[in-house]
Structure 1
């Protein structure tokens, strides 16, 4: 009787506790429902990756040879680096005649060297010497917090600088994606020139790479006032490419490579587009562009997942042309006018075909049919549509400077900025056509 009496007396507390438990389960259920809704309405335990598993990836279009036109296009791209490599430091400018660079663009320069070597534009001793000089200069650079490369350096003085290319005592922090990009280039360089391994190790041994890999994720730094903030860096596409680069050097970046936890689907012109759910972070915004998939394909030859993602992203751009007649090849691009840089997306900021600043501001009038996307997609997939893209870009070339960024869609005018990234991708694309991905030793 005592137990029953106590149970009756405690019924209010029991009801309260049961109510809390029920409420907790309700919150969990609602959050799960909302999460599944945010991820493209996939419910009932549906695996989002199944949607992409159903995509038949386009075959890679390695031709096994270079045409005379290909070699001329590659020679013009290499002209950019002949013009923009500093005679003293061996570093290449990010933008024509502007003596600044990042680890991303320096990685692109190394990729350009390796591609030019494969295309016999330069001989192996010159390729090795150019890479060795880059390694020597990087090895002398002051690091941010004595840990990792700063986000920008002066190519003439090797000084740590801000985005205005002015010397900076503090610096800008490090970008995990930029560091991963040059680590990819180091891996490719070491495979092509094994005797460079000690010089590469001498550089990377100075770097506290363990500080940008935490619990399987990539960590970058940002400056907020005088505070250095450490943030997870990378979104779907860029994050997985960077993870592969770090895996080449033995780093466990399993969470950066895995995509399921941060994936939702947005349908663009009947194509399922992989979009990152982390749209509202204070760091990198979420958007879908061609660039990381071009790098993945041209350098590594894709994996099964990235091949399907790339196929869908390419097909959406082709579908836009088929529906509107507007040639479409979108990615991140330098601009010849303010704000000087933009992400032309397949999907971004909640909309199809949005063009964004890094801060997420819409600037759709700056959409560029990008030279590097045209050459990259043509090398990878070699379709009638990609041939149209390259054909449209070809008249823009300046044989004395290199390939410009592309064509402004709104005006039809030339986006005349000439950059290391674009000319490196042109070289990598033409190398891919002849010999396949850079990671593989040519037969």
Structure 2
């Protein structure tokens, strides 16, 4: 891997030319600075109760204290950025990258969400961009290939029809760029938009601008086409859903995913104050001695929201933890390690695809009113499909580098298929392989292995 080369002009005309070419990158850096300043302000606001000068003489009743106080005694685990790859890392990364070589459509530049399944969402497309940057950081591909891959996908994204000419549809056919339903069947109007998916994509676009300044103008053209303001109201994320053939706008995001998505939108200067605040909808549940953050809002108006690992590992690998997410992630990791210590059962849970119906579940640390529930999107329990997930094993090992995380990776390592990529993981119930192979898992493996050497993606330069 080679660091990016910067050419310097020797006369004023060259300087002006380069300045013009860099204007989009400069704009991004200014927005990034504003976004990070807002994050720092929010953290100080959230932690203001720790400043003695802000305390009143009378201790407030316990019920009025912020639920964030439950995390005061959580000591964040130290990050395990080593600056060098471990013995098997390159081979592991090559397996993950093979998935993207197999599943990138040559005409559109888009990637299948799962092996040989030609549909995608903005979430998976964002994962693909993170995978490309990570593969470049690891030296699996050079800068020219990385830029060419992303550029082709950006052109397709710019040309694709939007839902109601507002924002990207919830799903697209990878081969044609058509709006489709979740069965990959064409739909004329579309399904609406997912604010969380688009926010992840926006975060990935910020990473692209940061890593490849020459692509900044293409990113700007794409974002100019998307009416992102339609998915932000009063500092909250708003999804678009179809109900009785009418567009219905709903608040979207729960604790964990909501704050991760808010950070992504902050990169482009959006006010995400209410989405970034976790305490407004936070309750804390004890799981094996660890405080676990749980959203108080119901899922689909019936089931308590579920807490999974994914938004926290993405936050750490891509943006770098803030003080709050670092504590949350530490508690979530320690609860899983504690379950292993108590039961002898390896535990690394998150949302995951399945290789059989219903094909997707949320394996939670807390969900449906209980610890360790495995739930479908509709809120049905399916604990028999709990999976020791590949992406969580690699991510926790990269982030924290503990004896337990190394044991997780050792258990997962034999599953890697050099011809297809990494499967989702191991079914807890019988040790069989969950053989679904997906964009999200293989992208996370690459991001984790890149983190070990370079730290968070946003701080890295290919």
Give the TM-score, by structure 2 length. Answer: 0.85
2:270 aligned residue: 251
- Which of 121, 132, 138 matches 1:113? 132
SS of the equivalent of 1:439 reads helix
Q: Does 1:134 align with 2:144?
A: no
SS of the equivalent of 1:426 reads helix
Q: Does 1:398 align with 2:408?
A: no
Report the RMSD for the aligned CA atoms in angstroms: 1.3
2:373 aligned residue: 354
2:165 aligned residue: 146
2:27 aligned residue: none
- Which of 298, 320, 345 matches 1:326? 345
1:81 aligned residue: 100
Give the 5 Å matches for 1:25-424.
43-282=62-301, 286-424=305-443
SS of the equivalent of 2:88 reads helix
SS of the equivalent of 1:387 reads helix
**Contact 1:103-1:151 at 8 Å conserved across structures:** yes
- The Cα shift of 1:44 comes to 4.1
SS of the equivalent of 1:205 reads helix
Q: 1:311 to 1:393 in 2, by over 3 A?
A: same
- The Cα shift of 1:46 comes to 2.4
SS of the equivalent of 2:259 reads helix
**Contact 2:290-2:331 at 8 Å conserved across structures:** yes
Q: 1:262 to 1:244 in 2, by over 3 A?
A: same
Q: 1:248 to 1:284 in 2, by over 3 A?
A: farther
- The Cα shift of 1:45 comes to 2.4
Looking at structure 2, the residues matched to 44 and 375 of structure 1 have their Cα atoms a distance apart, in angstroms, of: 39
5+ residue gaps in structure 2? 1-60
**Contact 1:138-1:203 at 8 Å conserved across structures:** yes
SS of the equivalent of 2:241 reads strand
Looking at structure 1, the residues matched to 134 and 351 of structure 2 have their Cα atoms a distance apart, in angstroms, of: 22
- The Cα shift of 1:280 comes to 4.9
- The Cα shift of 1:285 comes to 5.9
Count of equivalent residues: 402
SS of the equivalent of 1:342 reads strand
Looking at structure 2, the residues matched to 225 and 329 of structure 1 have their Cα atoms a distance apart, in angstroms, of: 40
- The Cα shift of 1:441 comes to 2.9
